[in-house]
């Protein structure tokens, strides 16, 4: 279901709760909402659509939407400063990002979550880090 983007700073600043397989509808809502934006959204976190679950969706280099349950940075290198915009906030933020990072996360496999990890670089690494910040309650 397509959801409206949350702009309430108090809600957005609360850390997310761990996601479970029972949160599959939140993941689908993230995908539906991103698809409805016609390419104007690179990454979306569950709190941006009104859920306090630790789930993000992002568009990869091939234009596919990927969903990560409980994403977390486990390794990172090559820091740089970035100016980022956000659908939930009017102003841009200055943040530290890493050009290369490894993210641990869960994926939905039937009725369970399975742990995975992947190495990300460049733009994809940056947008996933943005989503992870949202899960931590950071306003970015």
pLDDT tens string 4-63: 999 999 999 999 999 999 999 999 999 999 999 988 889 999 999 999 999 999 999 899
CA distance 120 to 99: 8
pTM, two decimal places: 0.95
How many C-beta atoms lie closer than 10 Å to residue 115's C-beta? Answer: 10
Give the CATH class of 9-135: alpha beta
Asked whether the beta carbons of 54 and 16 are under 8 A apart, the reply is yes
Q: Which residues contact 51 (CB under 8 A, 6 or more apart)?
A: 23, 26, 29
For 50, half-sphere exposure in the C-beta direction (CA atoms, 13 angstrom radius) is: 8
């Amino acid at each position: 279901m397509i959801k409206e983007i949350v702009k309430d700073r108090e809600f957005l600043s609360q850390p997310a709760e761990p996601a479970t397989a029972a949160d599959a509808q939140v993941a689908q809502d993230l995908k539906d909402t991103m698809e409805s934006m016609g390419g104007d959204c690179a990454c979306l976190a569950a709190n941006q659509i009104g859920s306090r679950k630790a789930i993000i969706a992002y568009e990869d280099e091939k234009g596919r939407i990927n969903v990560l349950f409980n994403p977390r940075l486990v390794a990172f290198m090559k820091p740089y400063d970035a100016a980022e915009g956000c659908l939930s906030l009017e102003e841009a933020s200055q943040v530290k990002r890493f050009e290369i990072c490894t993210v641990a996360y869960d994926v939905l496999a039937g009725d369970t979550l399975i742990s995975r990890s992947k190495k990300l670089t460049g733009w994809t690494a940056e947008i996933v880090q943005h989503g992870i910040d949202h899960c931590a309650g950071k306003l970015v």
